Structures are given as structure tokens and as C-alpha cells.
Structure 1
Amino acid sequence: MKKMLVLATSAMMLVACSEKPGYEITGTVNNPALEGKSVYLYPYGDAEAAPLDSAVVTNGTFVLKGTQDSSALRMLKFSEEVVPRSYAPAGENGVFTATFVLSNAKLQATLDSLSDVTGTPDNDAVAAFRKEIRSMRAEQEALVSVLKSEDEAAKREAEQKYDAIDRAVADKAAAFMDGNMENALTGVIFYTFRYDLSEEKQNQLVAKASDTFKSVPGIPQIMERLENLKKVAVGKKFTDFPMKDVNGKDRKLSDYVGNGKVVLIDFWASWCPPCRREMPNLVEVYKQYKAKGFEIVGVSLDSKQDAWEKGIKDLNITWPQLSDLQGWKNSGAALYYVNSIPHTILVDKDGTIVAKNLHGEEIAAKVAELLK
């Protein structure tokens, strides 16, 4: 009997040893309309890839099981016919979509208007980060009604608070990334916050990036752009270019820059809401320092002359304006590697770039310093 017990125990151990470790994703879908629909598991960053697996939502839940040779970025989502692709704030997943690190572990997925996957240290760290920035963005939502107010003073104050929260969220993201550079999801967060992080901060993070971070889709292109930006970095002389003014007259950037004035080059467009929000501040700075040796040159990424002219009039812009009406293909923007607007470049009296992407009160403070 004892011998039989030993044999049975040995057999159980052999079975246990032969079982491969695997993953199990237990998901919750918080929308009755998605009952009976399929959730698909995809590799991250390949729009043409076929799904790796799928599961049908039953009673608001689904389960996916399998094995993973090594940790990898994956996405959970429905077909676009079922859940159309939607905009997601930086750092967040799309609606009923989740990007996560898949490894052989038990994972919990919540697919909702704000989705998360938890169950491993990498995924848990990002879920905790998202919880923090969501509470900050909730404060922004409370300002939306005031932003639509006809009370200009209240509206301007709300805009300043809104922008301050944006900066605080970006700072929170930068701090998170700085301490989690071995996490592949950090690369995803970096990519989504690329427009909110200063060039300097991006370079600092990339300098300490792990191979895992560098291999995330989209990161190699950002690294290449950062290398290109060094050609027009702070400390470099401005790069000249020809372009027509609003009256169709041929001009050059050097008609305004490098001629003994402190100049702010402002890449903007009439269709850009953040640009329009920033414009009253530029109007005030221009009014305050124009007579003291300060100039602004607007470079518009508009594509229609009438919209450009209307924007100039509506926003009380009185400084020189240039555009080739090529939208995002603007030749001047290409030389300065502009990929988001508003984008500002501050140049000193000798034509040396001294600051980039200053906004709000930062502009007035720096201009005052340079004009001393």
C-alpha cells in the first residue's frame, strides 16, 4: 500500500512538472450592448496584425487562456464595427480597449470607458498611475462649463487653471516614467505624452531608456526626431526660410529675426483651439514689450487664406504673419521639426535660440529677462 502511494505521488508530480505555465485573463465588460460580442487579443503596434485569440462576452465577462514565451505588449479590443476607434487622453486606453503587458500570470481586465488590466507589477504600476491622473483630469472636467462662460475674466481664470492641470499631469507622467524605464508600458505612455513633454525631458528619459523601452512601437521614430531637433536646439542659431506674408509679399524669417530684437517665433493655426487660447496672452506680452525691442513672428499652419485672415482679425493679432498655406506640410515647420502646435521658439537679439515651447506667463518672464 505504501509503495502504491509513493507511485501515485510520483505520477502526480510528473504531471505537475509537465504542465506549462500559462496566462489567464479574466475580463469584465461594463456594457450590456456588448453581450455576445467577441473581444480580441492583438499584438500592440501592428494595425495589420491578425488577432492572436478571442473570447465571447457572456454575462458581462470573458476569459482568455494561453502561454507566453516572454512578456510582450498586447491589446484587448472589440472590432471597430462594434466599438469605433476613439480618442483617448494621454496615458489612457481607448474606450473598451486595453494595452497591457502579457506574461504567464493571472490577469484581470476591466473594459469600460476607462479600461485597465492588473495582476502583475508592470500592469499594476500603470493602473495606479492612471488612477492618479484621472483624479486630476476630473478637476479639469469641473472647469468645462466655466470655459464656455461669457464672463471673460472667469473664462480666462478657468483656462489658466485648466492649463496648469495639463502641466501637472505631464509632470506626474514624467515622474512615473523616470522611475519605470524597464516597463514596456512606460514606452506606450511616453508615446502618448510626447506632445506634453519638453524636448529636454524627452532627451533625459531616452538617455536612460532600456532596450525594452526602445523596442516599443513608435519610440524609434521619436528618438530619430529628437536627434533631428538637435539641429535647432537651444543654443543654436535660428534657421532661416522664405515665406509669403498675409498680403502675398515674399518675406524671410531673417527679415525679423537676428536684427537686434528679441523675437518669438509662434507656429500656430486658426483652427487650433490651444493656439487660440494662448493668443490673448501673446497679445498682452506684445503690447507690453513691443516698444522695448520685442517682436513676434507668426508662422501659420493654415491651408486657407480666408481662415488665416479671419483668425488674425478675430484674435487681435497685430504682429507679422507668414504662411505657405500648406497646413502640416508648412516648409518652415518642417525645418524646425514642429509636430504639434502651438509651438514657440524664442530667439535673442543675435539670432540664437534661447528657449522653446514657452507658454503663458513663462513668455513674459523670459522676454523681460532678455530685454534687461
Structure 2
Amino acid sequence: MQTKNLLWITAALLLFTACGKKYTVTAECDASSNGKQAYIIDYTTEKPLDSTIVSDNKAIFEGETPEAKLCQFFVNSPSRESATFILESGNIVIDPETQMVSGTAQNDSLQSFNSTLRKTQEQFYTRYQALSKTTPDFKEKVEALQDEMMQSFGDVSARFIESMPGSCVATYALANWLPMLIGTENFDKAAAYITDNDLKYPMIKNSVKTNDRTKATQAGAMFTDFTIENGNLDGSAVSLSDYVGKGKYVLVDFWASWCGPCRAETPNLKEIYKQFGGDDFEIVSVAVWDKRDATLEAIKELALPWPQIIDAGQIPTDLYGINGIPQIMLFAPDGTIVARNLRGEEMKRLISLTLQK
């Protein structure tokens, strides 16, 4: 009798556990998505976990999951509706238009985290709009405001991570926080929260890798060479070492044709090139994350007179830990990195001081 009771209890527990793994995900969709395929993408594998057809402006998924997973809802339609959520047992509701997710404990916490960040961002934007652009110290005030905002974002992220250690919410907070800190001393503080499970997520693993490469290519380090097949304008191979480490200062501009801030630096680069270009100084543009034809068209449109390396893809950005462009770096005649993250007036001052010594 006792054995039968134990067997019954065990079976009941197994049934309860199985039921506890079931999920229903209901996503509100635009009418243009009706009849289109909708997916749940696992962020760890970046592959679909489930799919359904959108009908009556809804995508409804039903299934089981052995554990909570950070996922993306995505519709393959012209509207490209998507939202990040946590797939776990329970009834989950998603509104891609407002990026609202709810229905389970972790999704409610995820929504709270995103709402807190949005409110923080809105507060700082209001303060930014109140600044007078005519004041002499406008730039300094903006930079101070940006630093304060980054600190606030970090405080919010740390609070959620510490309150839900090991959760998908903590993973999501880390995944959004770490890229902001790459190349700064605060990265290691945030990285202390990373768990083995977090490293299953490419977005976190890539942030760690990028930060490591950024630290390895800071001022004082020797340049890291790379070769791009078909990287010359004539289609031949070209290496960074064809220019860097050849006895002159070289300003290397990692850019792309579609990048507005990259294009905005063109007048500054042209001014520097006109003043200093010659035997002691060169500029080299390296097109990354761009299509060859688009790069060639932009080079012609912008009338860039200095050497170009094109079609570089992500080879240079991986090597130098670049997670945003433009990234402009100055190399010494022997190939040592003098500075990175150069822009605008600061860049012009550094070049002037360096070359007029």
C-alpha cells in the first residue's frame, strides 16, 4: 500500500511538473501580418523554438519549455514586428507596437526594468533639451549629462541583476548594460555579475570578447595587422601594414557609407589632410560593415583623396574591439597606437600637437 501511494505521488508530481512547463504566448499583430509566419527565436542559439501563422491580428503559440529562456518574438512581414520576452510557463502577452510584455513573473519584471530605463532616459532627455546650445560650456555640460545618464543606467541594471540573480531578467539587463561600458574601467565591475549561463548568450559573449580586444588595442599597444582580399579599389589584396608602421603618423578612420556620424567627420578629416598630409602624415579610411558598391559610391560622392581599404566587413572591428563607428585611431610612425575614439575638434587638436612637436 505504501509503495502504491509513493508511485501515485511520484506520478502526480511528474504530471504537475510537466503541466508547469506549458506556455501560451499571445502577440498582438498589425493587420499586415495576417497570414505571415511568426517565430519565437532563442537568443542562445539564435534559432527558432516555435512558429505559427498570424491570424485575426494575433500570433498564438502553445508548447512546453524545460526552462525559462530569453527570446525574441518576430514576424516575417513588411512591418517586421518584434519584441524581446522571456519564454516560461504561463500565459504571456506581447504587444510589439508598445514593446509591452506581461503575464508571468519574469516578464512582469522585464517590463518593469524596461519601463524604468525609459523613464530615466526621458528625464535626461528633458534636461538635455533645457541646455542652451549658445553657452560656451555646452559641450562639457552634455558630456557630464551623458556620464550621469550612464551611471543611472548602470545603477538601474545592477539593482535588477542583484534582485534577480541567475534569472533571464538579469541576463537581459547585462546584455543591454555591457555594450555601453566596452573599453571603460566600469566594464569589469559589470562583468563580475556574469554567470556561466549568461555566457551562452552570444550578445554577452561578444561584449566580453570586444572588451578584451579593446583593452588589447589601447594607446601604447602595437597595431594589429589584417589583410583584406579585394580590399583595394582595383580589387587587389591590401593590409593595414601597407600603411601603418612605415615611418609616418597614420590616422585610420573605420567607417561605413550608411553611417551619418562617419560622414559628419569628413570635413574634419579633409581639413587635417589638407594641413598635414605628406611625408610625415597619412589618412587611411577602412570601410567596415558595408557593401562594396555603396562604399565606392560614397567615396566618389565625398571626394575622399586619401587611400581606401574597402570591403573589410567585421575583420578590423573584431580585431580592434570596435562596437560603434566612426572609430578613428592615430598610429605612430613605428605602428604604436597613439589614441583611439578621436572625433571633431579634439582630433584636430591632437593631430596638430603631435605633428608640430
Q: TM-score, normalised by structure 2?
A: 0.61
Partner SS, residue 254 of structure 1: coil
Given candidates 249, 252, 257, the residue that maps to 2:243 is: 252
Distance verdict in 2 for CA 1:234–1:339, change over 3 Å? same
1:278 aligns with 2:275: no
In 2, the alpha carbon distance for the partners of 1:311 and 1:40 equals 41
Give the Å deviation of 1:257.
4.5
Distance verdict in 2 for CA 1:115–1:227, change over 3 Å? same
Alignment of 1:45-194 (within 5 A): 45-51=44-50, 54=52, 57=55, 68-78=65-75, 80=76, 83-84=77-78, 86=80, 95=81, 97-104=82-89, 106-120=90-104, 122-131=106-115, 136=121, 174-179=154-159, 180=161, 182-185=166-169, 187-188=171-172
Give the counterpart letter for 2:208 in structure 1: M
Distance verdict in 2 for CA 1:27–1:226, change over 3 Å? same
Partner SS, residue 255 of structure 1: coil
Residue by residue over 1:134-183, the C-alpha shift from the partner in whole angstroms, topping out at 9 and shown as x without a partner, is: 5758999xxxxxxxxxxxx99xxxxxx99999998876655544442744
Partner SS, residue 300 of structure 1: strand
Q: Check the 8 A contact 2:245/2:332 in 1, yes or no.
A: no
Q: Check the 8 A contact 2:244/2:331 in 1, yes or no.
A: no
Residue segments in structure 2 that go unaligned for 5+ positions in a row: 1-10, 126-132, 135-140
Give the Å deviation of 1:131.
3.6
Give the share of equivalent positions with the same residue, in percent. 22
Give the Å deviation of 1:343.
1.4
1:219 aligns with 2:204: yes
In 2, the alpha carbon distance for the partners of 1:50 and 1:182 equals 22
Residue segments in structure 1 that go unaligned for 5+ positions in a row: 1-13, 87-94, 141-152, 155-160
1:310 aligns with 2:296: no
Q: Check the 8 A contact 2:259/2:325 in 1, yes or no.
A: yes
Partner SS, residue 101 of structure 2: strand
Residue by residue over 1:269-325, the C-alpha shift from the partner in whole angstroms, topping out at 9 and shown as x without a partner, is: 4443331023344456x389859xx95623231746853642442xxx66xx33343
Given candidates 212, 229, 232, the residue that maps to 2:217 is: 232
Give the counterpart letter for 2:28 in structure 1: V
Q: Which residue of 1 is the match for residue 328 of structure 2?
A: 344
Q: Check the 8 A contact 1:44/1:99 in 2, yes or no.
A: no
Q: Which residue of 2 is the match for residue 29 of structure 1?
A: 28
Residue by residue over 1:115-150, the C-alpha shift from the partner in whole angstroms, topping out at 9 and shown as x without a partner, is: 23234554344434434565758999xxxxxxxxxx
Distance verdict in 2 for CA 1:28–1:298, change over 3 Å? same
Partner SS, residue 211 of structure 1: coil
Distance verdict in 2 for CA 1:326–1:306, change over 3 Å? closer
Q: Check the 8 A contact 2:182/2:210 in 1, yes or no.
A: no
Give the Å deviation of 1:236.
1.2
Partner SS, residue 75 of structure 1: strand
1:265 aligns with 2:223: no
Q: Which residue of 2 is the match for residue 11 of structure 1?
A: none
Q: Check the 8 A contact 2:178/2:204 in 1, yes or no.
A: no
Corresponding residue pairs, total? 318
